[in-house]
Structure 1
Amino acid sequence: MSIEACKSQRGFTLMELMMAVVVVGILVAIALPSYSAYVRRTACEDAKGTLAGAAGLMERFRAQQNTYTGATLGAYAKSPVDGGAVFTVAVAIDNTGTSYGLTATPVDGGVLAGRGTITLSSNGVRGGSGDLDGAWGSCRGL
Structure 2
Amino acid sequence: MLSRRHATISSLGLIAVTAAAGVAVWPRLPAEMVIHFSLAWEPNTYVSKPLAVFLLPAIMLLTLAVLRGGFRVDPPEDPHVASVTTLSTMGLLAALHILVLAWNLGYPIPSDLVTLGILLWAVALVGYVIVRERGSSIS
TM-score in terms of structure 2 length: 0.28
Greater helix share, structure number: 2
Greater strand share, structure number: 1
Larger RCO, structures 1/2 (Cα 8 Å, 6+ apart): 2
TM-score in terms of structure 1 length: 0.28
